């Protein structure tokens, strides 16, 4: 697969994976992809924790579940998220950004055919926190936690803060390098028929990151960056949208 095909075909895989482990050779290629990412002064700040055993997956699934239940009680979190939630396919395409709500949570049956009915609720997402306190987050939390638990492989990506480059911009360059290593993994996965999903929920709150740090014996100088669910997919039919080039490309000067 050429690079541009991998770029265009890569999708966030939110569904089930094939029920088989990642081949050793394929895992090695994902690791090599991260290894060859660029970084300032070649500092190579990435660390990859590969989790394939039930215990580790279960522990991360539990942190994910608790985090999502807490997020549903958090008015600010709900409000901030609502800005990027799209209810219908046409709305999603028109905006060219954001995510389809129905791809992130299974909507109650009566809303599945007419998700636009949720618009007034989404406009006042803060008020949903009260439903969160009544337990509304439990179902999506269990659903997403189950996906974490059943993934053939989880990759916890951390940044080794002993590897800072010099200069005032060091923190930016560190994070940029992390993004490059992660994108290398995603594109290589695509070329191998492997799907990947970012799972951000367990990493949003400092207390959850600390919990993860303890669970996996991460030293204090490892900053937890992202968690990836990884597995083979049967061809990915998921769609996505993007802004038009004219919305973000500028020639010579920004108009
Ligand atoms: C830093 C980062 C965090 C993300 N977190 C999540 C997440 O928690 N759950 C999820 O399903 N997708 C997550 N995504 C995937 C985005 O939603 C996705 O990239 C975007 O909607 C475009 O869709 P595509 O990747 O299929 O093209 C994340 C992506 C990035 C880069």
Token pair for 66: 């608790």
Q: Name the residue with the closest Cα to ligand 1, atom 28.
A: 198
Domain of 30, in residue numbers: 1-60+147-234
198 in contact with ligand 1, CB cutoff 6 A = yes
Residues 35 and 152 in one domain: yes
Q: What is the pLDDT of residue 196?
A: 98
For residue 206, what are the contacts with CB-CB under 8 A and spacing of at least 6? none
197 in contact with ligand 1, CB cutoff 6 A = yes
- Return left, alpha or beta for 34; rule: phi > 0 is left, psi -120 to 50 is alpha, else beta: alpha
Cα 127 to ligand 1 centre (Å) = 25
Q: What is the pLDDT of residue 235?
A: 78
199 in contact with ligand 1, CB cutoff 6 A = yes
Q: What is the pLDDT of residue 134?
A: 85
Query: Is the Cβ–Cβ distance between 188 and 212 less than 8 Å?
Result: no
User: Does the residue 244 lie in any domain?
Assistant: no
Residues 27 and 47 in one domain: yes
Helix axis angle, 170-191 relative to 24-35, nearest 10°?
150
9 in contact with ligand 1, CB cutoff 6 A = no
Pick the atom of ligand 1 nearest to 14's CA: 11
Residues 81 and 181 in one domain: no
For residue 197, what are the contacts with CB-CB under 8 A and spacing of at least 6? 12, 13, 14, 147, 228, 229
Q: What percent of the chain has a predicted confidence (pLDDT) above 70?
A: 100
200 in contact with ligand 1, CB cutoff 6 A = yes
Q: What is the pLDDT of residue 236?
A: 66
Long-range contacts from 75-82, C-beta under 8 angstroms, 24+ separation: 75/125, 75/126, 75/127, 75/128, 75/129, 76/126, 77/204, 78/125, 78/126, 78/128, 78/129, 78/132, 79/125, 79/126, 81/125, 82/122, 82/123, 82/125
Q: What is the pLDDT of residue 9?
A: 95
Q: What is the pLDDT of residue 131?
A: 83
Query: Is the Cβ–Cβ distance between 92 and 98 less than 8 Å?
Result: yes
User: Does the residue 202 lie in any domain?
Assistant: yes
Phi, psi of 253 (to 5 degrees): -145, 155
User: Does the residue 179 lie in any domain?
Assistant: yes
Residues 115 and 191 in one domain: no
Q: What is the pLDDT of residue 110?
A: 82
Residues 48 and 158 in one domain: yes
User: Does the residue 239 lie in any domain?
Assistant: no
- The C-alpha atoms of residue 27 and residue 31 are separated, in whole angstroms, by 6
Torsion angle defined by CA atoms of residues 5, 179, 181 and 29, in that order, rounded to the nearest 10 degrees: -50
Residues 154 and 230 in one domain: yes
User: Does the residue 157 lie in any domain?
Assistant: yes
- The C-alpha atoms of residue 116 and residue 16 are separated, in whole angstroms, by 26
User: Does the residue 209 lie in any domain?
Assistant: yes
Q: Which of 116, 136, 156 is the last residue of a domain?
A: 136
| C-alpha dist (Å) from residue 228 to 60, 83, 154, 171, 241 | 11, 24, 6, 22, 21
Q: Name the residue with the closest Cα to ligand 1, atom 4.
A: 198
Q: What is the pLDDT of residue 178?
A: 98
Residues 17 and 42 in one domain: yes
Domain tally, the chain: 2
Q: Name the residue with the closest Cα to ligand 1, atom 10.
A: 198
Which segments of the chain have a pLDDT < 50?
none
């Amino acid at each position: 697969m050429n690079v541009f095909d991998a770029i265009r075909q890569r999708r966030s895989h939110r569904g089930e994976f094939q029920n088989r482990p990642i081949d050793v050779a394929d895992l090695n290629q994902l690791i090599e992809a991260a290894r060859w990412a660029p970084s300032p002064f070649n500092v190579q700040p990435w660390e990859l924790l590969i989790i394939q055993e039930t215990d580790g997956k279960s522990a991360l699934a539990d942190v994910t579940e608790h985090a999502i239940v807490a997020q549903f009680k958090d008015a600010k979190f709900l409000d901030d998220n609502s800005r990027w939630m799209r209810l219908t396919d046409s709305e999603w395409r028109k905006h060219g950004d954001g995510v389809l709500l129905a791809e992130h949570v299974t909507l109650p049956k009566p809303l599945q055919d007419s998700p636009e009915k949720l618009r007034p609720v989404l406009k006042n997402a803060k008020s949903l926190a009260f439903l969160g306190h009544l337990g509304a987050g439990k179902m999506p939390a269990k659903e997403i936690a189950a996906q974490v638990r059943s993934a053939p492989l989880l990759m916890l990506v951390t940044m080794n803060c002993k590897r800072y480059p010099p200069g005032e911009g060091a923190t930016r360059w560190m994070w940029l390098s992390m993004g490059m290593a992660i994108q290398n993994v995603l594109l290589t996965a695509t070329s191998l028929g492997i799907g990947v999903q970012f799972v951000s929920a367990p990493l949003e709150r400092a207390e959850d990151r600390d919990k993860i740090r303890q669970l996996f014996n991460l030293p204090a100088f490892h900053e937890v960056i992202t968690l990836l669910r990884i597995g083979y997919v049967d061809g990915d039919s998921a769609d996505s949208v993007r802004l038009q080039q004219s919305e973000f490309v500028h020639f010579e000067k920004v108009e």
